[in-house]
Structure 1
Amino acid sequence: MDANAPHDSHRDDVPADDACSPAKCRSTRRRIFAGVGIVAVASIAWFGYSAWEVQHNLTGARDNAQLAKDSLLAGDAETAQRAAAEAEHRASQGQENLHSLPWSALAAVPGVGTPLESAQQMSDVVVGLTRDVLTPAVETGTALSPKDLIADGGKVNLQPLRDSAPAIEQISADAKSLADQAHQVSGGGYLGLVDDVRTQLQAQTDDVAKLLENTSIGAKVLPAMLGADGPRSYFMAFQTNAEARGTGGLVGGYGIIHANDGEVQVDTLGKNTEVAYDHQPLDLGPDYKATYGMYNPSTDIRNSNFSSHFPYAAQIWQSMWEQESGERVDGAIATDPVALSYVLGAVGSIVMPDGEVVDADNVVELTQSTTYTRFITDESNYNADNEARKEYLQTIAGKVVEKMTGNIENPQLLLDAVGKAVSERRIAVWSAHLDEQAIIADTPLGYTVPQDPAPYAGVVINNNAGNKLDYYLNREIDYTAATCTGDTRTTTVTVRLTNNTPPGDFPRIVAGTFKERPLPFGTNFSAVSLVSTQGASLNKATVDGKPVFSIRGNELGHPVFTVPTTILQGKTVELRYELTEPTAPGEARVPVQPLVDEPSVTVNAPNCAN
């Protein structure tokens, strides 16, 4: 090689034309990176816009779904139809976006795609809710509109409800399925906003499912119960929570309701003192007799509802009234002053003959506290005129029922009030017609002790002092169970009861006790029963840490353990039931007895089905 020849920096096998100068290479790389950047920015922009569109459509679907439901309940069919159609359109658009190829590909990326997968699942629920529930629900029209269902004068239009029963049952089943599907939606991972939306969707689907379930039950039983096939009659008990009984409170008064073709009226109102005590006892089986027979429940109306299984009390009332009047009622209903306060909040106040106004804010205190001091006749002994007091309470009850069965300005508010009372077990219903009772029994209206092996802890208080101090009673209930290993597990039910009776002078009927129980004035003396899980055994019962004797009974296969309990004025007592229970599958249930307070209830019991 010529040493003086120019030096060639290129390899001999690389053509000179393909050479890349540093400047040229840098330019090429910039163009490549710019292209990739443009694609990345475009992709991000597309996903951003698409995400906004998804959020816009699903939010619109949710809002229109709510509008459709509200309009339907308000009787505005035109708005309900428009909103349901818009909800379905928006939901379908959101679902289409979320299930597109780019979204599905990104959703499949582990970790990164978690919130997208959750959003896809939610879009499927929303589409189902709008297409399979709201749209057909709107098409049922009158049956779901309280405004159309309840006519002037309080008459219920029964035929549309009966005609729509099959369709409503199917819609209700679809709504329940979608609510379950919503609770199976996966978490949003690193995006908390997705979890918030998921929680909102679950609440919305639960709300719709419960509304339709209740409507379906009503469509099945209400037409016949309200006289579509002929007149019906019912015994209605007014319970006084200030003196606790198993289903709520002592029966202070009653009414007889007659229903015919959707029209309801109360023909008879009476006091418990007007019901005789010489009835032929009703046989409710050996367990019932052994557990409650000492209280003569089927001959003494004051003790007729010691059991927390409402059908027992209802059958006793049916028997009593038939022996009193010769009329055999078709069922029974129970309610209390707290439920009346909800109703008055919906229908407005009532005016007593002397001009006194009774409303949602004062009816509970008036009927369960003030009334006992208002009718004092002997200031030195604080004795009260019970007949005058009972007449006053009877008048209040009659006027509330009269208001409910008259012209209702806002039927939806009334139904909401009744629904709230039912959810708190403050309204109970029993039908003597077996097909109807079979439907009612498994609902909150039935107020039944379930006949299944799932974990159960029903704390039931029955006032044994004959006073009215349960108005001042406060309850705390805790049910704690061990793990599900083995055939049995240990459980503990802790009940704390506080007697908040304030200082002051009270009539004997309020703060005294029976003569055979000479306890200090203001003492709450109660039988506190635990209706436990089937197959449970009691290892130990204590009061304030000291072992006590308990009375054993049985309630529809459930062992019942009763401890007589004394709670002095201003004091708290703690009862503990230490048990061994079968590891039966199912959610633990701790039903709340409807008294005046709102008890604190905690449940720490794993589901042995999981």
Structure 2
Amino acid sequence: MSHTSRRAAREAAQKQQADREAAEQRAGVAARRARRRKRAGVIWLIVGLVLVVLLAAAVWVGFRALTVKDGLEQSQRLIGELQNGADVKATLEEISGHAESAGAAASDPVWAAFEWIPVAGENLRGVRLAAQSLDVLVNDVGVPVLGGGTDGGALIPKILEVTKAESGRIAQLAEEIGAVQKSTALIGPVRKGVDQVSEVMGMAAPAVEMLPTLLGADGTRNYLLVFQNNAETLALGGSAAAQTLINVDNGKITMGSQGSSASYQNGVAVDVPVEQSAIDLYSSYLVDHINTSMSRPDFPTAAKIMRAWWQRDIAPDEIDAVISIDPLALSRILVATGPIPLVTGDVLSSENATALLLSQVYQRWDSYEHPELVDGFFAAAAGAVFQKVASGQFNLKDMAWALNESAAQGSLLVWSEDDKVTEAIAGHRISGILPTDNNDATTIGVFFNNSNGSKIDYYTQASINADAVCEAGSATFTVNAGLTLPITQEQAEALPRYVQSMTFFTTFRDWIYIYGPPGTAVSNVAVNGERVEVLQQGIDDLGRPTARFEAWFDAGDQVNVTASFTGEGEFGPLAVQTNPMIHPTVPSITDSCG
């Protein structure tokens, strides 16, 4: 073969090889393209499936949300009916199903997964916690406690059992909904619902947590119950007329020893540290006469004094808390218990409790000659009411109203050295502590203190006018306090001796105390009446400037005193706190500071 022929053959072979390689390359590209198309198809299929799943999940959560929404709305409607007087047991049973369905729907695992979505998830979490909280309060607390009705001796043991079991869960939910409440992502309707439920849970959690301890689950508890007499009015209510030791052991409540003013060494001071400002304003009578231990408008002071009296003169009992009630609170409690027969033949009811205990008893017996009869009557009444309440024989809804209303009006006061109890009642009237700042409200205290040992305040009436004026960065708060005795001289002379003034007969004397807002100073005082004078002004007590007046008055008289306080800074809305009196005093307030 010639050189040319060999060359042509090589070139032909090379061309064939190149063609084969090109064909193989084209086949590989096609295969890769096919594989890519296949993978793309799979990916899009997966994406499609994911979208379908997400859409289905969203629809599922939407349906669950409708269930939750319906359950919450129905529950809210029924709770409104319950507050308006609907039957507790029947309404609670109806709420139970709605609350359970809402709680179960919001507890769905798909719902939980969606809570991880930004913004929307915060709203879903808020709705879930609101639904679960309602479910726990209704079905795990309300129904077990009230399942057998609102009456019966098993009520208190039921409360103890349920609160022991559910305190941890309720505390957890309260903490969680309190955290989601801080979220800025909540939309309007969710925000409103979360705020409402969070407020309820914030109150329920500490109460449920404390109740087992308060009911003696962790050991016996002793409570000193003090009965105040508003007919001899003092800043915290009235003279400390009678006392009873209450023993609580694992839900069982029993009544122990009782005491009255005759049981104590009056005139011999108890050993309780009290600020000098209190002695300056109220004299040594604050600590050396038991009836006047309620003179200072600070229940921790009074409670410690009362405990010291009991432990010194009655028995060295360990006292875990001091609780004070008055006949005004008792009359409300009798709404819940119904009328109670007494061994004296009387029937104590919400309609007659105040008159019977604060007026009629003194017409029956002369307390100077037969104090044991009056004390015995008080003891019998206290014992009968106690037995009724301790047995659980009362309407729970009415009892809740009675206690809430009494606490709000200052007729129910509580002091305890237990930090949890102190924290739970802090800032509320039931603590018996005047506010220490002006953040939420600028509170002025006006207190009428009977200083003649009479029981004339069954008849006296008071008036209070307060106003606030702000200008040039300064605020002035002015209070006018009036006191009148709207009976005739003949009626006053016909009153029993024990109702009349111990020393002055039908002439009466009150000390009127006005406590200005924290951060202010007394700028002016004035009096209106022939026998009215300023005794002290400017003494700082309980972190507040004070003005003290003395007013003498007879039947038909009207006396008035005025004090002004000036200060700089930020002041909340003007408010007034005063004695819980037999004839309620509704202050008139004008706040031009806004």
Which residue of structure 2 lines up, in the alignment, with residue 391 of structure 1? 376
Instruction: Tell me whether 1:266 sits opposite 2:255 in the alignment.
Output: yes
Which residue of structure 1 lines up, in the alignment, with residue 33 of structure 2? none
Indicate if the aligned counterparts of 2:223 and 2:247 stay in contact, CA closer than 8 A: yes
- How far the C-alpha of 1:595 sits from its partner, in A, is 1.5
Query: Among 342, 364, 368, which residue is 1:374 paired with?
Result: 364
**Separation in 1, partners of 2:434, 2:479:** 18
Query: Among 132, 137, 151, which residue is 2:134 paired with?
Result: 137
Q: Which string of whole-angstrom CA distances, capped at 9 and with x for unpartnered residues, describes residues 379-402 of structure 1?
A: xxxx66332112112211111111
**Separation in 2, partners of 1:526, 1:210:** 41
Indicate if the aligned counterparts of 1:431 and 1:437 stay in contact, CA closer than 8 A: yes
Indicate if the aligned counterparts of 2:235 and 2:295 stay in contact, CA closer than 8 A: yes
Instruction: Tell me whether 1:350 sits opposite 2:340 in the alignment.
Output: yes
Instruction: Tell me whether 1:464 sits opposite 2:438 in the alignment.
Output: no
Give the 5 Å matches for 1:158-169: 158-169=160-171
**Separation in 1, partners of 2:557, 2:173:** 52
Query: Among 560, 580, 586, which residue is 1:594 paired with?
Result: 580
Instruction: Tell me whether 1:233 sits opposite 2:222 in the alignment.
Output: yes
Change (3 A) 1:317 1:409: closer
- How far the C-alpha of 1:312 sits from its partner, in A, is 0.6
**Separation in 2, partners of 1:387, 1:396:** 14
**Separation in 2, partners of 1:394, 1:276:** 20
User: Structure 1 counterpart of 2:328, which letter?
Assistant: V
Q: Which string of whole-angstrom CA distances, capped at 9 and with x for unpartnered residues, describes residues 170-212 of structure 1?
A: 666899999999xxx99xxxxxxxxxxx9xx99x999877755
Q: Which string of whole-angstrom CA distances, capped at 9 and with x for unpartnered residues, describes residues 27-76 of structure 1?
A: xxxxxxxxxxxxxxxxxxxxxxxxxxxxxx99997564131574996486
- The size of the alignment, in residue pairs, is 490
Instruction: Tell me whether 1:152 sits opposite 2:153 in the alignment.
Output: yes
User: Structure 2 counterpart of 1:83, which letter?
Assistant: H
Which residue of structure 2 lines up, in the alignment, with residue 67 of structure 1? 78
TM-score w.r.t. structure 1 length?
Answer: 0.71
Change (3 A) 1:478 1:396: same
Q: Secondary structure at the match of 2:233?
A: strand
- How far the C-alpha of 1:144 sits from its partner, in A, is 4.1
Gaps of at least 5 residues in structure 2 are: 1-67, 105-122
Instruction: Tell me whether 1:482 sits opposite 2:469 in the alignment.
Output: yes
Instruction: Tell me whether 1:254 sits opposite 2:247 in the alignment.
Output: no
Query: Among 501, 519, 527, which residue is 1:535 paired with?
Result: 519
Q: Secondary structure at the match of 2:307?
A: helix
Instruction: Tell me whether 1:584 sits opposite 2:581 in the alignment.
Output: no
Gaps of at least 5 residues in structure 1 are: 1-56, 90-125, 187-197, 378-382
Which residue of structure 2 lines up, in the alignment, with residue 572 of structure 1? 558
Change (3 A) 1:498 1:282: same
Give the 5 Å matches for 1:97-496: 132-133=129-130, 135-140=132-137, 141-144=139-142, 147=146, 152-156=153-157, 157-169=159-171, 212-277=201-266, 278-292=268-282, 294-324=283-313, 325-376=315-366, 385-454=370-439, 455-483=442-470, 485-486=472-473, 488-496=474-482
Change (3 A) 1:127 1:393: farther
- Identical residues among aligned pairs (%): 21
Q: Secondary structure at the match of 1:284?
A: coil
TM-score w.r.t. structure 2 length?
Answer: 0.73
Q: Secondary structure at the match of 1:408?
A: coil
Q: Secondary structure at the match of 1:276?
A: coil
Higher Rg = 2
Indicate if the aligned counterparts of 1:542 and 1:576 stay in contact, CA closer than 8 A: yes
**Separation in 2, partners of 1:606, 1:574:** 23
Moved more, 462-471 or 270-279: 270-279
Q: Secondary structure at the match of 1:158?
A: helix
**Separation in 1, partners of 2:260, 2:487:** 27
User: Structure 2 counterpart of 1:543, which letter?
Assistant: V
- How far the C-alpha of 1:606 sits from its partner, in A, is 5.5
**Separation in 2, partners of 1:540, 1:133:** 52
- How far the C-alpha of 1:222 sits from its partner, in A, is 2.3
User: Structure 1 counterpart of 2:94, which letter?
Assistant: T
**Separation in 2, partners of 1:451, 1:168:** 31
Indicate if the aligned counterparts of 2:242 and 2:259 stay in contact, CA closer than 8 A: yes
Give the 5 Å matches for 1:32-43: none
Change (3 A) 1:130 1:570: farther
Change (3 A) 1:129 1:350: farther
Change (3 A) 1:134 1:58: closer
User: Structure 1 counterpart of 2:547, which letter?
Assistant: F
Indicate if the aligned counterparts of 1:247 and 1:310 stay in contact, CA closer than 8 A: yes
Q: Which string of whole-angstrom CA distances, capped at 9 and with x for unpartnered residues, describes residues 352-371 of structure 1?
A: 22322111110100111111
Indicate if the aligned counterparts of 1:461 and 1:529 stay in contact, CA closer than 8 A: yes
Which residue of structure 2 lines up, in the alignment, with residue 21 of structure 1? none
Q: Secondary structure at the match of 1:415?
A: helix
